[in-house]
Chain A
Amino acid sequence: MSTETNTIDIDRDIGNFYYDVAAKKDAGVGLTEKTIDYIVEAKQEPDWIREFRHNAYRVFNSKPLPTHWASRELEIIDFDKIRYYLAAGDAPKRTWEEVPEDIKRTFERLGIPESERKFLAGVEAQFDSEAVYSNIKKAVADQGVVFMTSTEALKQRPDLFRKWFGKVIPTGDNKFSALNSAVFSGGSFIYVPPGVKVKHPLQAYFRINAENFGQFERTLIIADEGSEVMYMEGCTAPKFTTATLHSAVVELVALPGAKIQYITVQNWSPNVFNLVTKRGLAHEEAEIKWIDCNIGSRLTMKYPGVVLKGRKARGEVISIALAGDGQHQDTGAKMIHAANETTSNIVSKSISIGKGRATYRGLVHVPKHLKHCKNNTECDALLINAHSRTDTYPAITVRGTGNAAQHEASVSQISAEQIFYMQQRGLTEGQAMSLAVNGFVNDLVRQFPMEYSVELKRLIDLEMEGSVG
């Protein structure tokens, strides 16, 4: 028995396959003003978007890489060697039959059409830069729910789109939000009318297929007063030796009394830099909950946030990060309290295996003038051998009287004795680790919809099976 993990060959059978697909539209390698014009023309976008993109490009160039506080690894990314736009050049299809065969088989292998039949209210499937499939069940559309790609929305529903686009996360929020704003393509747009409760989840699946590529989807979800919606996203890519970039921007707007739940199961291949900005704006008595699972990627930097703008708004981030050898999951949460009686809850669990590194970075801000705000933060880290590293950087500023913040953190290890105990009962070392890790995240996984908790358990099993030498 060895609890030492030297070489980790992670089993990525689920996502690690590649079918050669020729892209008709290709913006080429590198990023210049011309790349942006190419994208605008390929997508036949209005002028205000062209302007928006060019401005963002300037902001992107003016901002330094945020390497001073996280990781120097970002310096590996060579922005001149990335391809920023690759697409088949067709509008997204409404039936799987219409999706080109070579692309369709990718999603079939990932089980997307099957999940759609089983339990989803709508699905969008993005392949490199554009969605190839986007469909919403008729019963849901009949309630007035809009579910389309953001490219479609900015043209078809400018009334809804323009009002909130870039408002929750301004272009200049950080270098990568600026990059996304310059070259964004794909992603979902959802609008749920007042009082409508969408029973089943809407799902997007993001697939990177090309090498040396950057995927920059842009998602905007607006839940009107008293409405409810659950959105889930999954992501995979084949494993290449060169760096792939995924840099999304996701904005959520929950109008008074609305509820949005956003679930991510990220399983990028270990060459992907996953640098995503996610934030929600919760109005009075609204609720935004991020459930964020980061299993894959080389480096993830992601801190979903909620701006609690209205009285009694509620924000929650439930986060699970698994950092295997060679991976760094730098994740966390931001809770900005901006009204009285707002509450926020952060529960973060990270698992570090081998030389994997997990970092929790949290920001909770309650200004002095507010009353009766509450925050609860819990960070638990599990280390799977002596090389692992875990860091917690909570920044909690709670001012004023009558506001309360509670912070708990723990670090634990799976000991060789625990593994031996489980092995003595007949489990292999991999099964034993897997069971222990699943036990560690169990209370969080129970909050997931069934189908996703099963999927997550399967991913953890695969990861653990692959992580024992």
Chain B
Amino acid sequence: MFEIEFMSSIVIKDLRVAIGEKEIIRGLDLEFSKGEIHAVMGPNGSGKSTLAKVMAGHPDYQVTGGDILLDDESILEMEPDERSRKGLFMAFQYPMEIPGVSNANFLRAAIQAKLPEGEELDATDFYQRLYEKMDLLDIRREFTARSVNEGFSGGEKKRNEILQLAMLEPAFAVLDETDSGLDIDALKVVAKGVNKLRGPNIGILLITHYQRLLNYIIPDYVHVMYEGQIVRSGTKDLALELESKGYDWLKTEREESGGPLAATPAQATA
């Protein structure tokens, strides 16, 4: 049982990403393993959401350099659905509405898609699990029949993302600004859901602008992202430091050092 000392992980190596002619991520390194929660914080425009979308394989972004490895395998050539089936989940900052498709049917289709060919999802088990997770997230039963995210409030959409996360049981989850637009009560519900899920079987990357979320979901590591790079990493104390200092010091620091970014050839080659 214990002979394999393999730590399942996502490794991002010197990642460079552009949208159109503009380079957004400029040589980013980050690594996180199952069982860990990492927070990525940073000011607006630092490339946080781009990082999430690139990991999930959004077609609008071009990876111009570096790699993303999931358990030592590059996922860059994989379609978004293949990445998903490999165990990568992304909670969207702006979840999409799918009119006419019920939440229950959507989840069933998604879970079914992960099963080996020829294997059918057991409906009774499915609903039992679904109701369990819904209770955990304070979601009412009639929710199952409503269309995916259609007419949902901001809070309902975010809770739905966490419900999908709970049902799909991925190995890795990237939560893109899940706290944005949530009032404190909704935030607590979402945090409760994530805390219930955390454990040795999942690695979580929390992307957030505010420290507030980290009061409820305590991360193991905190990274600061600025102008497309991770410029500092530390423990949860780093988040508190950011809270008191704001993000302005990043700018100052960069200007003082002459800035490694000023020297990047990105704009020149673009």
Which residues of A are interface residues toward B (Cβ below 8 A)? 1-2, 412, 415-418, 420-429, 431-432, 435-436, 438-443
List residues of chain A with CB within 8 A of the CB of B114: 426
18 contacts between A and B (CB under 8 A): A415-B96, A422-B106, A423-B84, A424-B84, A425-B106, A425-B110, A425-B168, A426-B84, A426-B168, A429-B81, A431-B113, A432-B81, A436-B101, A438-B101, A439-B98, A439-B101, A440-B100, A442-B100
Q: Verify A428–B113 contact, CB threshold 8 A.
A: yes
Q: Does B56 count as interface, using CB distance less than 8 angstroms?
A: yes
Asked, given contacts A421-B95, A423-B80, A428-B113, whether A416 binds B59 with beta carbons under 8 Å apart, the answer is: yes
**Measured between C-beta atoms, what is the minimum distance from A68 to chain B in Å?**
37
Alpha-carbon separation in the docked complex, A443 to B89 (Å):
30
The 6 closest A-B pairs by CB, nearest first: A439-B100, A439-B101, A423-B80, A421-B96, A425-B110, A426-B113
Closest A-chain residue to B59, C-beta based? Answer: A1
User: B204-217: contact bitstring with A at CB < 8 Å (1 yes, 0 no)?
Assistant: 00000000000000
Q: Verify B59–A429 contact, CB threshold 8 A.
A: no
**Measured between C-beta atoms, what is the minimum distance from B56 to chain A in Å?**
5
Closest A-chain residue to B79, C-beta based? Answer: A1
Give the interface residue-count category, chain B. 20 to 34
List residues of chain A with CB within 8 A of the CB of B164: 425
List residues of chain B with CB within 8 A of the CB of A428: 79, 81, 113
Q: Does B109 count as interface, using CB distance less than 8 angstroms?
A: yes
Task: Pick from B90, B99, B113: contact of A439, CB below 8 A.
Answer: B99
Given A420-B58, A422-B106, A427-B109, 20 new contacts (CB under 8 A) = A420-B59, A420-B80, A421-B92, A421-B96, A422-B96, A422-B98, A423-B79, A424-B57, A424-B80, A424-B83, A424-B92, A425-B81, A425-B84, A426-B111, A426-B168, A428-B79, A431-B81, A435-B101, A435-B106, A439-B147
Classify the interface of chain A: helix, strand, loop or mixed. Answer: helix
Q: Does B198 count as interface, using CB distance less than 8 angstroms?
A: no
Alpha-carbon separation in the docked complex, A428 to B80 (Å):
8
List residues of chain B with CB within 8 A of the CB of A438: 100-101
Alpha-carbon separation in the docked complex, A415 to B59 (Å):
13
Alpha-carbon separation in the docked complex, A435 to B89 (Å):
20
List residues of chain A with CB within 8 A of the CB of B80: 1, 420, 423-424
List residues of chain A with CB within 8 A of the CB of B57: 1, 423-424
Q: Does B13 count as interface, using CB distance less than 8 angstroms?
A: no
Asked, given contacts A438-B100, A439-B101, whether A424 binds B168 with beta carbons under 8 Å apart, the answer is: no
List residues of chain A with CB within 8 A of the CB of B84: 423-426
List residues of chain A with CB within 8 A of the CB of B81: 423-429, 431-432
**Measured between C-beta atoms, what is the minimum distance from A464 to chain B in Å?**
13
Q: Verify B147–A427 contact, CB threshold 8 A.
A: no
Q: Does B85 count as interface, using CB distance less than 8 angstroms?
A: yes
Q: Verify A436–B98 contact, CB threshold 8 A.
A: yes
